[in-house]
Structure 1
């Protein structure tokens, strides 16, 4: 039996205090994250479980740079009038019906998140959504939350939709098609159930304002057609590279910077103005979170659960129960810590079980479902969530602001409902999940 060491207790305490400060909103979340990071490094160096070098390595540069590049590409797209044009036409297709609009936007975001990563999808759709809601004079809060949560669910279906999926696929040698075949059914069931639940939870906000969408179509046209073509060409390069980046051994961040470089060369924008469009607060918030979670990982706290799970999985009769337990614990932990370090921790533990004769295939799918669905529980659970929260704050509409408590009131029911549905599919179709 493993003992919880003082290092584990200390790292857990820093994590909990940091999260209390973030959730209480007694200070800006970025200040709380940076404070937590500084304290984690300090106590880690003092107790010998964390170093400055390890903290720097804990920051996921790929995520930070991907966010920065996509923020700049979206900023270059905004002056062309593309968002205004798309907003009025989507509004027209939904005929101004708020419920239909939520379904359309959710479907679009989910499908695109299966092809691109969900973070990129939400960066593009969030400002568009705020514009649509301004035109219809409705609250964008339900739409931003729905897009973030359903992009997390949609991204869980494919090998390229979410970073943990790529890590699992690489470790287990799972192909793109096999991943989609195994994850498609539970994700589809969870998606349909989640949309239905959100329509119910947001029923009071999804009320027609009486604005006629047909009057809006003629008032918003493309302002800079040539600029739009150039930015779309750069975005096309990014999308193509996202499709094939694993074959070319390119990081998504590098792929996005190739597209950004093309856009910069074609448009020659004012760089001071462009850098001003980057949400630096979000980037530093993530850097702080990565350092805090890196300290928890270095203390060995995440390994503790992995070894407990390994003991349970040794019994073949307990394999389904082990998978379900892994799914739920992975989801709950992913709601409060980043799902990437948990996935990194579990991969060698699951691989180690194979040498003991355990069929580890069901555990891969349970892990993928857990880390994919758990991010919806809190606004810190997934990168896409923070983008949605940040966009709600930038909207300038007080009713649109998504506080931590507002997120949890919807996010926790969505997370647990999704886990129940995924668990039912896992149980009923367990034979499907016994192969990789």
Structure 2
């Protein structure tokens, strides 16, 4: 590697340490790192802001912006209070039942939508229901972020790396559904068992509060029925467009922005009020993070590491798939999985062509890459977009979640789900 590549690596790791230790706020750390990498020519303005390969992923930024606006309008209708009371009553005020309900809904929705959209919609409900039942909100938010990444693994549209893999490998929506959805169901069962163990201290049942919840009428929570109908109408169209992405070919970011613009146009909500609800620090953090990871792509660091990981098991299908699985998980826990998968895809394509089995059996390498990239993002607080969004929402609602508070749970879940994926890949494709 060049001197610039080594410097870029050092800057990235230094910023990562600052974020992990929380010596300075993560937004400050990300912007500082991005600025230094631009200063030392680890990347430049053209690569950082306009390159699809190594620049800011504006699709993610504008998807977040559009959905934050839609959620901001929805919040004014009282629908989140309605859903919070409904969920609490369904769970009969039992904390673990509530977590199961919220995480299963999150995982299921993440398979059809993207995981960022799902957590933006579920998190406001979580804050309210936890407040009603006097429960600590952090365990529920963390569990939802983890569930969204697991659920998003099941389909082509559930997680952005899957779209990149499908494009390069020629895989369809049904291919992902047939090959990964059965494993995701198994992973969710294991995940719920882990939740019972990892978050056991949060499951304190308060019979008095539960009784109060059961007496509430969720319909009374709706404050503006006209605005609710308008908002749900637009949201339904947006959701349908997300699901029909393989047919319509509109990026989720475009759909979200069109939905946000339409909702602002047809309602009487003040623009200033909605814009104030947008999580601007989260968007700025993403931009800084994308610039830093883009510098690692631009200087060849990601490519070098990817090639080394792939060549470690070249010519041996089982070893290659396991190296891809665990290597992708490890890297996706540290850097954003979108540029990593973009850099890794041509290498995997070459490896698939060289496999003696070829054809369908060669797809095991694609599934290993997808599972490692999607599930590995759970390992750290900044390993996946949904994790970062959850941290931003928690901080805004004065219930901050630290890097290590998230990571000590996420790392266990990531390790367990990757470990379960190993025998699945071996038994289904290599035996």
TM range (shorter): over 0.9
Distance 1:104 1:311, change over 3 A: same
Deviation at 1:237, TM superposition (A): 1.1
- Give 2:334's aligned residue: 336
What CA distance in whole angstroms lies between the structure 2 residues aligned with 1:226 and 1:197?
Answer: 42
Choose the corresponding residue for 1:52, options 34, 45, 52.
Answer: 45
* Mapped contact 1:189–1:422 kept (Cα < 8 A): no
Choose the corresponding residue for 1:25, options 22, 37, 46.
Answer: 22
State how 1:17-416 maps to structure 2 within 5 Å: 17-43=14-40, 45=41, 49-57=42-50, 58-210=55-207, 211=209, 212=211, 213-217=213-217, 220-315=220-315, 318-356=316-354, 359=358, 360-396=362-398, 400-416=399-415
The residue matched to 2:348 in structure 1 has which SS? Answer: helix
Residues 7-39 of structure 1: CA deviation (Å, up to 9, x unaligned):
322111011011111111121111110000000
* Mapped contact 1:133–1:140 kept (Cα < 8 A): yes
Aligned residues: 420
The residue matched to 2:331 in structure 1 has which SS? Answer: helix
The residue matched to 2:92 in structure 1 has which SS? Answer: coil
The two structures, once aligned, show a CA RMSD in angstroms of: 1.5
What CA distance in whole angstroms lies between the structure 2 residues aligned with 1:355 and 1:101?
Answer: 47
User: Is 325-334 or 345-354 further displaced after alignment?
Assistant: 345-354
Deviation at 1:357, TM superposition (A): 5.1
What CA distance in whole angstroms lies between the structure 1 residues aligned with 2:417 and 2:218?
Answer: 41
What CA distance in whole angstroms lies between the structure 2 residues aligned with 1:88 and 1:50?
Answer: 49
What CA distance in whole angstroms lies between the structure 2 residues aligned with 1:334 and 1:34?
Answer: 21
The residue matched to 2:244 in structure 1 has which SS? Answer: helix
Deviation at 1:374, TM superposition (A): 0.6
What CA distance in whole angstroms lies between the structure 1 residues aligned with 2:368 and 2:285?
Answer: 29
What CA distance in whole angstroms lies between the structure 1 residues aligned with 2:217 and 2:87?
Answer: 10
Give the gaps of 5 or more residues in structure 2. Answer: none
Give the gaps of 5 or more residues in structure 1. Answer: none
Deviation at 1:121, TM superposition (A): 0.3
Given the two structures, how large is their TM-score scaled by the length of structure 1? 0.93
* Mapped contact 1:122–1:384 kept (Cα < 8 A): yes
